Amino acid sequence: MNSSATDNPTIGDLGEFGLIDRVRAQVGQNRHILLGPGDDAAHVSTNDGTFVVSSDLLLEGRHFRRDWSSPHDIGRKAAACNLSDISAMGGVATALTVGFGAPADLPVAWALEMVRGFEDECAHVGAHIVGGDVTESDKIIIAVTAMGDAARPVRRSGALPGDYVAYSGELGLAGAGFATLSRGFRSPKAAVEAHRVPRPPYAAGPQAAGVGATSMTDVSDGLLADLGHIADASGVAIDLDSHTFVVPEPVATVGEALGRNAMDFVLTGGDDYALVATFSSETTVPAGWTRIGQVADGSGVTVDGAAYEGASGHQHFR
Amino acid sequence: MNSSATDNPTIGDLGEFGLIDRVRAQVGQNRHILLGPGDDAAHVSTNDGTFVVSSDLLLEGRHFRRDWSSPHDIGRKAAACNLSDISAMGGVATALTVGFGAPADLPVAWALEMVRGFEDECAHVGAHIVGGDVTESDKIIIAVTAMGDAARPVRRSGALPGDYVAYSGELGLAGAGFATLSRGFRSPKAAVEAHRVPRPPYAAGPQAAGVGATSMTDVSDGLLADLGHIADASGVAIDLDSHTFVVPEPVATVGEALGRNAMDFVLTGGDDYALVATFSSETTVPAGWTRIGQVADGSGVTVDGAAYEGASGHQHFR
């Protein structure tokens, strides 16, 4: 572990504090960050005296693979899934903390590329890393907490019968990309790229909150699974109209190549971090949102009035 | 992994959402928590429009051992090291997020005992768990982020020549306990217990901030190492007077039994989460604080005017 430092030092060469120093040099600043990394805690301001916060724990081999994704991509995706949660509350993320576990022989350059990926993804919303922790670990562990400002947080529990359902962002692309990579293929590129680095529609969250969305969540486990969380939390039924979906071209291609129904990816594929929300019937469908279904009395999520007979969304431990 | 549920179900039996439901039922509420676990993000209020935040990543086998500590103790300690960081800023923690990785065959009861440990430790300051994430992992991973209110955050960088150094809490007990357990012994109990569950002097943080502490940190890596962070950040030298320390009885006992200098544990033992701070010479030593040294021009930390010839503090990757 104590190999001498070289032009391409490992984390073990640099040590905990050496690594933290290099990370600090790479991290930016916004008006909310009163004190960034390097002290016992960071100090962050809010606009209205409240903040929203969300955490994710990402593990090598389970949530990402070093042979499939670059460190920059892994950083971007780890940031994206947390920033997306803040957006799904109708908020804008301002600050992140990152807990990082890594083997001592990991090149420092890998960690710094990952941090650059974090900062590049955070640039979409103006957030920065404000703190974290570093420890030695057999495999890479990335624990992210995102904090942000939300004037009117939109919960999962507010959907009402009569509301319509709409989404913004991409559906099925990342799932099709995962299926592609799992079979050892590297194209279609759009799908593979979407698995490596999702493109959440961050601005659509505050936009939906601004026009009074009654409930909202991001699609991380799959559209049906995540709408199931809204249906459960709101005590309502949701029915989707399959004819309203436009299957993205790369998703159709993957479906054909792998002999799978492309709608499976759209309805059950995770990791695209689209936003899905419900709106009162009096609310005009916001620009960039697509209406896909209806809220009614009852429970559960159906497609064209019936349970969907396809693969179900991802759930850990199952 | 899909063994049938029993009276003692595993995490694999319950699944991600089943486990989260049981955790939610165990988590309390305070006036700052506008929305707790179960949505995309939690919603937390602050008193003055700012908050402080700190993260730690704790790994089984590295930061805790299931054969040394109960799940309740592990939860308490994981909470303590984060709550202590907030206290070391002069703040009071209000909310925690917990990322939890665990093998599918871990009994649910273990996880819930750990959560109870978290909540019991949080009760010292009135904080609660407001969110988190659960994922499958070979070994247990606990990623904690604590957020809190601090009217006047006290940084590590404010120590000035002429200030005095004081600490509050315990020094050396946890380190002596670790040495004891490492040799296969289980007593003295006070030391072993201190390693399992530290007792940070949470209230001493806001107290020190209130009387104008110029710098402060908590002792997680060892007194000399953590004072080194203050000396570095403040650009000053710190000298400690060894005669001002009272070596706790169990620490003296362990030193004698293991043939080690008891002052090693006091000066370099980590994990007690004492607070150490600097105060202007005009400030009366606050109740519960012990004066142990002096700030001067220069750099580095010395004891009785000389470099300390003992074991150094813990650093990851070294």
- Does B45 appear as a known binding residue? no
Over the Cα atoms of chain A, what is R_g? Answer: 20
Task: Give the pLDDT score at A261.
Answer: 93
Dump the DSSP string for A231-291: HHHHT-EEEE-GGG----HHHHHHHHHHT--HHHHHHH--SS--EEEEE-TTSPPPTT-EE
Candidates B48, B85, B99; nearest CB to A143: B99
- Does A133 appear as a known binding residue? yes
Determine, for residues B35 and A131 on separate chains, whether the beta-carbon distance falls below 8 Å. no
Chain B nearest-CA distance from A29, in A, is 16
Task: Give the pLDDT score at B12.
Answer: 84
pLDDT for B4 beyond 50? no
N-to-C CA span, chain A: 37
Task: Give the pLDDT score at A6.
Answer: 62
What percentage of residues in chain B have a pLDDT greater than 70? Answer: 95
Residues of A in contact with B99 (CB under 8 A): 55-57, 99, 143
Over the Cα atoms of chain B, what is R_g? Answer: 20
Task: Give the pLDDT score at A212.
Answer: 97
Task: Give the pLDDT score at B317.
Answer: 57
Within a 10 A sphere around the Cβ of B4, how many other Cβ atoms?
A: 6
pLDDT band at A119 (very low <50, low <70, confident <90, very high): very high
pLDDT for A26 beyond 50? yes
Determine, for residues B44 and A51 on separate chains, whether the beta-carbon distance falls below 8 Å. yes
Does the beta carbon of A63 lie under 8 angstroms from any beta carbon of chain B? yes
Residues of A in contact with B58 (CB under 8 A): 135
Find the mean pLDDT for residues A208-232: 96
Find the mean pLDDT for residues A259-265: 94
Rounded CA separation B297/B139 (Å): 47
Does the beta carbon of A146 lie under 8 angstroms from any beta carbon of chain B? yes
Sheet holding B42-45, edge to edge: A128-136, A92-102, A141-149, A50-59, B42-45, B33-35
Give the pLDDT confidence of B281-292 residue by residue, as tens digits: 999 999 999 999
Please report which helix (H) or strand (E) contains residue A312, including its range.
Answer: none
DSSP secondary structure letter of residue A10: B
DSSP secondary structure letter of residue A31: T
CB interface of A with B, residues 65-104, below 8 Å: 85-86, 88-89, 91, 95, 97-101, 104
Domain ranges of chain B: 11-149, 164-303
pLDDT band at A173 (very low <50, low <70, confident <90, very high): very high
Determine, for residues B137 and A59 on separate chains, whether the beta-carbon distance falls below 8 Å. yes
CB interface of B with A, residues 200-219, below 8 Å: 216-218
Dump the DSSP string for A90-154: T-EEEEEEEEEEE-TTSBHHHHHHHHHHHHHHHTTTT-EEEEEEEEE-SS-EEEEEEEEE-SS--
Residue of chain B minimizing CA distance to A37: B54
Task: Give the pLDDT score at A4.
Answer: 47
Determine, for residues B16 and A316 on separate chains, whether the beta-carbon distance falls below 8 Å. yes
Task: Give the pLDDT score at A13.
Answer: 87
Question: What residue type is A206 in one-letter code?
Answer: P
Task: Give the pLDDT score at A317.
Answer: 58
| Helix, strand, coil percentages, rounded to 5, for chain A | 35, 25, 40
Determine, for residues B41 and A88 on separate chains, whether the beta-carbon distance falls below 8 Å. yes
Q: How far is CA A18 from the centre of its chain?
A: 30
Q: If we measure between CA atoms, which residue out of B238, B232, B216 comes closest to residue B289?
A: B216
Candidates A35, A53, A153; nearest CB to B147: A53
Chain B nearest-CA distance from A257, in A, is 31
Find the mean pLDDT for residues B45-70: 92
Find the mean pLDDT for residues B152-175: 96
Residue of chain A minimizing CA distance to B105: A317
Strand A128-136 and strand A92-102: pairing?
Answer: parallel
Find the mean pLDDT for residues A30-42: 86
Task: Give the pLDDT score at B199.
Answer: 94
Determine, for residues A53 and B131 on separate chains, whether the beta-carbon distance falls below 8 Å. yes
A164-303: what fold? Phosphoribosyl-aminoimidazole Synthetase; Chain A, domain 2 (3.90.650)
Q: Does domain B11-149 have CATH number 3.30.1330.10?
A: yes
Task: Give the pLDDT score at B3.
Answer: 44
Find the mean pLDDT for residues A230-238: 97
Q: How many residue pairs bridge chain A and chain B with CB atoms within 8 Å of each other?
A: 240
Candidates B44, B57, B135; nearest CB to A53: B44
Q: In 3-state terms, what secondary structure has residue A222?
A: coil
Rounded CA separation B45/B149 (Å): 9
pLDDT for A8 beyond 50? yes
Task: Give the pLDDT score at B2.
Answer: 42
Find the mean pLDDT for residues B24-33: 84
pLDDT for B313 beyond 80? no
Do residues A49 and B49 touch, judged by C-beta distance below 8 A?
A: yes
Rounded CA separation A143/A195 (Å): 19
Candidates B41, B89, B218; nearest CB to A52: B41
What percentage of residues in chain B have a pLDDT greater than 90? Answer: 75
Average pLDDT of chain A?
91
What percentage of residues in chain A have a pLDDT greater than 70? Answer: 95
Find the mean pLDDT for residues B129-153: 93
Residues of B in contact with A98 (CB under 8 A): 55
pLDDT band at A29 (very low <50, low <70, confident <90, very high): confident
- Does B271 appear as a known binding residue? yes
Does the beta carbon of B107 lie under 8 angstroms from any beta carbon of chain A? no
- Higher pLDDT among residues B82 and B309, named by residue: B82
- Higher pLDDT among residues A217 and B43, named by residue: A217
CB interface of A with B, residues 26-55, below 8 Å: 34-35, 38-55
Task: Give the pLDDT score at A189.
Answer: 92
pLDDT for B318 beyond 60? no
Rounded CA separation A5/A27 (Å): 24
Give the pLDDT confidence of B215-246 residue by residue, as tens digits: 999 999 999 999 999 999 999 999 999 999 98
Measured N-to-C along each axis, helices A189-196 and A173-182 cross at an angle, to the nearest 10 degrees, of 100
Determine, for residues A143 and B55 on separate chains, whether the beta-carbon distance falls below 8 Å. yes
Tokens representing B227?
């004072």
pLDDT for B1 beyond 50? no
pLDDT for A18 beyond 90? no
- Omega prior to A161 cis, within 30 of 0: no
pLDDT for B303 beyond 90? yes
Residues of A in contact with B318 (CB under 8 A): 1-2, 12, 15-16
- Does A215 appear as a known binding residue? no
Residues of A in contact with B230 (CB under 8 A): none
Candidates A34, A45, A135; nearest CB to B57: A135
Rounded CA separation A202/A169 (Å): 9
Q: If we measure between CA atoms, which residue out of A92, A151, A87, A98 comes closest to residue A127?
A: A92
Find the mean pLDDT for residues B16-21: 78
Report angle CA A307, A311, A315 to the nearest 5 degrees.
105
